[in-house]
Amino acid sequence: MGSLNEYVRKRRFARTPEPEGKKRTRGAEKGSRTRGAEKGPQRVFVVQKHRATALHYDFRLESAGVLRSWAVPKGPSLDPSVKRLAMQVEDHPLDYLSFEGVIPAGEYGGGTVMVWDIGTWEPDEPGDPERSFKAGRIRFALRGKKLKGSWALVRTRGRQWLLMKSRDRSASTDEVTLTKARSVLTRRLMAGIARDAGGDVEKAASADP
């Protein structure tokens, strides 16, 4: 199982609206199939647009009872020729999937958070994906609202990975972070999320196209 110790250590839950670091096991982790799945159990993924000190996208894949997480400064690209830096960060709880709102200033990661994409994922290779994570290379398929098809994460050194789109029919030169900028949950832009949650609207608006 993944560990949420670092997630808990960095946060003061009396001040931040983020979900507490409690593990839970979904049916997919027990080996059940999602309806319509063609191969193996499907797990969930989420991409959260996050305007903290700087804008980045948090890319999270469910595995071992947690969300394995990477911060992608420029966001995912649909162009297979583009390799995006992805810095691995602490595991997050599964309840973080639907977190959208404002982390207060002064708290870890303070700023506006949007659920930019959400869906299911499955490894493109047989065996336990945890082995692939530990080996530093995993190929997987996404079925999201915005991100689809085959992808890869490859570790280059330490916490540094590369997120890459594979060549398939869902590949494109479309700048998806600009053309599909709204929340998949609420259709709000970053400024709207900040306004509704009492955050820094001007700072959040700087992340809108």
Q: Where are the domains of the chain?
A: 5-205
Q: Phi/psi of residue 136, each to 5°?
A: 85, 20
Are 10 and 90 in contact by the 8 Å Cβ rule? The answer is yes
User: Is 96 a residue whose pLDDT tops 50?
Assistant: yes
| Gap between the terminal Cα atoms of the chain | 38
Q: Look at residue 57 and give its three-state secondary structure.
A: strand
pLDDT (0 to 100) of residue 36: 34
Dmax (CA) of the chain: 46
Q: Dihedral, CA atoms, 103, 60, 179, 169, nearest 10 degrees?
A: -170
What average pLDDT does range 113-130 have in this prediction?
95
pLDDT (0 to 100) of residue 33: 36
pLDDT (0 to 100) of residue 75: 98
User: Is 39 a residue whose pLDDT tops 60?
Assistant: no
Mean pLDDT taken over the chain: 92
Query: Could you tell me which residue, 78 or 126, shows the higher pLDDT?
Result: 78
As a whole number of angstroms, the distance between CA 202 and CA 194 comes to 9
Which DSSP helix (H) or strand (E) runs through 179?
A: helix 176-179
Q: How many CB atoms lie within 10 A of CB 49?
A: 26
What's at 134, amino acid-wise?
Answer: K
What average pLDDT does range 42-53 have in this prediction?
96
pLDDT above 70: percentage of residues in the chain? 90
Partners of residue 11 on adjacent β-strands: none
User: Is 177 a residue whose pLDDT tops 60?
Assistant: yes
* pLDDT confidence bin for 40, thresholds 50/70/90: low
pTM of the model: 0.92
pLDDT (0 to 100) of residue 22: 76
* pLDDT confidence bin for 147, thresholds 50/70/90: very high
Q: Dihedral, CA atoms, 113, 178, 169, 154, nearest 10 degrees?
A: -50
User: Is 35 a residue whose pLDDT tops 60?
Assistant: no
Q: How many CB atoms lie within 10 A of CB 207?
A: 21
User: Is 174 a residue whose pLDDT tops 50?
Assistant: yes
What average pLDDT does range 144-163 have in this prediction?
98
As a whole number of angstroms, the distance between CA 128 and CA 1 comes to 12
Q: How many CB atoms lie within 10 A of CB 185?
A: 17
As a whole number of angstroms, the distance between CA 41 and CA 106 comes to 39
What average pLDDT does range 101-129 have in this prediction?
96
